[in-house]
Amino acid sequence: MALKIEAGSCTVCGACEFECPNAAISMKGDTYIINPKMCTECDGDSPKCVGVCPTDACVPA
Q: What is the mean pLDDT of residues 11-26?
A: 97
Each residue's pLDDT tens digit, 24-61: 999 999 999 999 999 999 998 899 999 999 999 999 99
d(CA 28, CA 47): 21
Q: Can you list the domains of the chain with their CATH numbers? A: 3-60 (3.30.70.20)
- What are the residues whose beta carbons fall under 8 Å from the beta carbon of 10, sequence distance 6 or more? 31, 32, 55, 57
User: Using DSSP, how many helices (H) and how many strands (E) does the chain show?
Assistant: 2, 4
